[in-house]
């Protein structure tokens, strides 16, 4: 609710800027045309993920992974790492934070091992693993739209830093929890899905959606079709699951308010100081500077407004824009508010009775973020 309240306040401030002429009418119309398809995708893919989870798809996948681990925590962790990465890349970091977190905590609980390494893996990979495709992160969608890049062209630019970010994240996670990750456990017996028909519809829909998201079609279109297919299936088989809570209205209000407010700040030239901090050029040190400013800004005020404020100073250079994404995506793992995904992750943990020490979380983030940032940015500089 607090997220929605903040978004509503920002919307009012942005609306006031438009009413009093700070934001020209044409700028508001242009902004709406740019962000409407992105928010439509966020709504649609969230509905897809929630209904797929309600169909038991993610639980079954997790149980299969637990069986494959054969009682070894390290094998289970590596499989969770792969699942979190795939979920983030193809379904967005917020999906991973919201839906995968309870799955991995339940897995750890059933295996009678600490849930902390698995929970931390989920939230870190949700952020650091969100570089590869436009759909992986809302900031990526904005960047791809800004540059007019096909998803595969975008992936060609981000592949090396994305791989580096995930690899370094995994290394830090293992180095900080070796004893827990080298334990053994007794795997639980798998349970079949409650409704096999809904399960099959969800599995087929997701299997078709993933390639459609990188086909070059505007991503909101296949996501909306997938959401409609699952909604019809649930209307026929389990209509009680179709509630208003499926729509992430708080996120939509929050994002809309941020878009409008940051555009107003640009119009007032209040973000010009960032131009000096961000610098220019696309050499390794220039890219590290921009990524560092992006990471610092994201951890101070959240990655979405940080990206919006810094995008003009990355310009139309794809390499600089990817360096900015490295900062605001992979670098936003220090503060609890660095990304909305981290806040959503924490809400899920609290609801499951798992306690997280924010000071310890931030100290670990201070260790991991610079390593991820430098490695991913140097990988970008080496392959650009």
* Mean pLDDT on 256-274: 76
pLDDT of 101 reads 85
Q: What are phi and psi of 72, to 5 degrees?
A: -105, 120
Q: Determine which of 68-72, 117-121, 233-237 has the lowest per-residue pLDDT on average.
A: 68-72
Quickly tell me which residue has 């740019």 as its tokens: 34
d(CA 85, CA 93): 9
d(CA 34, CA 299): 25
pLDDT of 110 reads 67
CA neighbor of 291 nearest in space, from 272, 302, 308, 307: 307
pLDDT of 267 reads 72
How many separate domains does the chain show?
1
Across the chain, what does the average pLDDT equal? 87
The alpha carbon of residue 192 and the mean position of all alpha carbons in its chain are separated, in whole angstroms, by 29
* Mean pLDDT on 354-381: 94
Which spans in the chain are helix H? 2-19, 25-54, 57-69, 73-91, 93-95, 101-110, 116-128, 138-147, 151-176, 178-181, 196-213, 220-237, 249-267, 273-278, 284-301, 303-314, 318-325, 340-351, 358-383
d(CA 348, CA 54): 16
Helices 303-314/284-301 angle, 10° precision: 150
Range of the domain at 179: 2-383
CA neighbor of 290 nearest in space, from 307, 271, 267, 266: 307
Vertex 162: Cα angle to 142 and 46 (nearest 5) = 50
Residue 348, pLDDT > 80, answer: no
CA neighbor of 363 nearest in space, from 335, 337, 339, 341: 335
Residue 198 — very low, low, confident or very high, per pLDDT cuts 50/70/90? Answer: very high
Dump pLDDT digits (tens) for 56-73.
887 787 777 777 878 788
More confident residue, 264 or 3: 264
pLDDT of 85 reads 95
Residue 91 — very low, low, confident or very high, per pLDDT cuts 50/70/90? Answer: confident
Assign residue 192 a region: left if phi > 0, alpha if psi is -120 to 50, beta otherwise?
beta
- Provide the b/e sequence for 333-355 (b: ≥16 CB within 10 Å): bbbbebbbbbbbbbebbeeeebe
DSSP string covering 110-166: HTTS-SHHHHHHHHHHHHHTTTSSGGG-HHHHHHHHHHT--HHHHHHHHHHHHHHHH
pLDDT of 259 reads 79
CB-CB contact of 197 with 237 (8 Å): yes
CB-CB contact of 128 with 333 (8 Å): yes
CB-CB contact of 344 with 362 (8 Å): no
Residue 364 — very low, low, confident or very high, per pLDDT cuts 50/70/90? Answer: very high
More confident residue, 266 or 294: 294
* DSSP 8-state secondary structure symbol assigned to residue 96: I
d(CA 57, CA 349): 20
Its sign, for the CA torsion 337, 339, 340, 343, is negative
CA neighbor of 57 nearest in space, from 225, 203, 204: 203
Dump pLDDT digits (tens) for 8-65.
887 888 778 777 777 777 777 877 887 888 888 888 888 888 898 889 887 787 777 7
Q: Is the pTM of this model over 0.85?
A: no
Q: Determine which of 121-125, 353-357, 363-367, 379-383 has the lowest per-residue pLDDT on average.
A: 353-357
326 token code pair: 């490295």
């Amino acid at each position: 609710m607090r997220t929605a309240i903040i978004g509503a306040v920002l919307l009012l401030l942005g609306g006031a800027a438009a009413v009093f002429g700070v934001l020209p009418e044409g700028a508001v119309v242009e902004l709406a045309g740019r962000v409407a398809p992105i928010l439509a995708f966020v709504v649609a893919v969230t509905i897809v993920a929630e209904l797929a989870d309600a169909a038991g798809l993610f639980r079954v996948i997790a149980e299969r992974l637990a069986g494959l681990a054969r009682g070894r925590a390290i094998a289970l962790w590596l499989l969770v790492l792969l699942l979190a990465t795939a979920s983030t890349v193809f379904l967005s970091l917020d999906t991973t934070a919201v839906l995968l977190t309870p799955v991995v905590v339940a897995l750890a609980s059933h295996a009678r091992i600490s849930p902390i390494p698995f929970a931390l893996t989920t939230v870190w990979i949700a952020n650091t693993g969100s570089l590869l495709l436009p759909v992986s992160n809302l900031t990526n969608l904005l960047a791809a739209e800004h540059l007019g890049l096909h998803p595969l062209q975008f992936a060609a630019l981000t592949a090396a830093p994305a791989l580096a970010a995930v690899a370094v994240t995994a290394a830090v996670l293992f180095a900080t929890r070796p004893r827990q990750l080298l334990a053994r456990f007794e795997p639980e017996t798998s349970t079949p899905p409650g409704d096999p028909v809904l399960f099959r519809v969800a599995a087929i829909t997701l299997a078709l959606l993933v390639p459609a998201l990188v086909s070059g079609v505007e991503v909101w279109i296949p996501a909306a079709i997938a959401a409609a297919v699952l909604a019809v299936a649930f209307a026929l088989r389990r209509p009680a699951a179709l509630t208003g809570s499926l729509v992430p209205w708080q996120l939509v209000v929050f994002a809309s308010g941020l878009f409008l407010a940051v555009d107003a700040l640009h119009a007032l030239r209040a973000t010009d100081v960032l131009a000096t901090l961000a610098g220019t050029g696309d050499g390794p040190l220039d890219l590290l500077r921009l990524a560092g400013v992006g990471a610092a800004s994201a951890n101070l005020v959240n990655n979405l407004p940080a990206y919006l404020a810094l995008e003009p100073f990355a310009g139309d250079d794809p390499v600089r824009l990817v360096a900015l994404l490295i900062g605001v995506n992979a670098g936003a793992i220090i503060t609890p508010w660095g990304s909305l995904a981290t806040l959503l992750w924490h809400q899920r943990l609290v609801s499951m009775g798992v306690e997280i020490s924010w000071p310890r979380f931030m100290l670990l983030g201070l260790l991991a973020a610079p390593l991820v940032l430098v490695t991913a940015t140097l990988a970008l500089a080496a392959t650009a």
